[in-house]
Structures are given as C-alpha cells and as structure tokens.
Amino acid sequence: MVALPRALHDRPLLLGATLTVTGLGVCTLIITTMADWPRWLIFPSMFIAVPALVATVIGLSMLAVLGFLPLLERRDLGWDDEPLAVLGIPLALQRKCEALGYWTCVALSEAIDKGLFPWTELEYDERMQVQRSIELWRAQTSKVSARGKP
C-alpha cells in the first residue's frame, strides 16, 4: 500500500496541516529570498512555487472539509434516496422539478403530502404525470417495505 493514502486515511488532520505549513513555508521562503537570487533563477523558481501553492490549497481544503465534517454528520442529507429518474417522468419535467428544488422522490413526495409543492409552476399534463408517477412510486415502495417486514 502506498504511504500517502494510508496517511490520508489514518491522520487527515495532520496531513492537511503539514501540507498547508509546508506550502506556506516554501512560498514565504521564495518571496523573502527572491531579491538576492540571480536573474536566471527567477523562472525556475516558479517550478518550485507552483507545487508549493498546490500543497497549500490541498492542505487548506482538507482542513476546511475536516472543519465542516461535524456539521455534515449532524444533518441527514439523504444521499441514499432515489433520484427523480426512478419515477420515469420525461427529462424536461425532471429538470423542472429539480429547478424547483426537488431532487429525490422522497423530497417530492413529502412536499406533495404537505401541500408545499408549487403546482402552478407546471402545466396541467405535467402535474398529472408527476402525480401519477409519485403514486406509482409510493405503491412500489410500500410493496417492497411490506415484503421486507417479517
């Protein structure tokens, strides 16, 4: 196994901090000492500066993701919910529903049940397609959940 993925998996905070500090240190070193360098060394110094900046960006990104991780863990994002494509509605109608903020079958079904779905944004035939496909989806999911119960 390669050492970098293992370090990334075992100690992501340490790796992110190390990348950030190393990148910032190299960039600071280049900036502060560049005035004393000969002219021919200015262009090759960019080959050092670019990886240092990349390390800084990757390290700061890792630290930001790790910082937001507790917030993301508390929320149920519904990553395992079925997408609207399961409903079998036309792609244009699917895009309209997504533009209205309904990306999953569960979200669409809950909005319809609560009376929050903006039906006026759709044409009559589109409303009927959405209503029928949600009813069919509910029937299919209730059959599957009924079979799964002992």
What confidence tens digit (pLDDT) does each residue in 4-31 have? 677 777 888 898 999 999 999 999 999 8
87-107 pLDDT, tens digit per residue, is: 888 999 999 999 998 888 888
Q: How far apart are CA 63 and CA 19, in angstroms?
A: 10
Q: Give the Cα separation of 19 and 64 in Å (integer).
A: 13
| Helix, strand or coil, per DSSP, at residue 148 | helix
Mean pLDDT score across all residues of the chain: 86
Sequence ranges of the domains in the chain: 3-74, 84-144
The pLDDT, as a whole number, for residue 141 is: 85
101 membership: H or E segment, kind and range: none
Q: Using an 8 Å Cβ cutoff, are 18 and 59 in contact?
A: yes
Contacts of 20 (CB under 8 A, 6+ apart): 55, 56, 59, 60, 63
Q: For the whole model, what pTM was predicted? A: 0.52
Q: pLDDT class for 116, splitting at 50, 70, 90?
A: very high
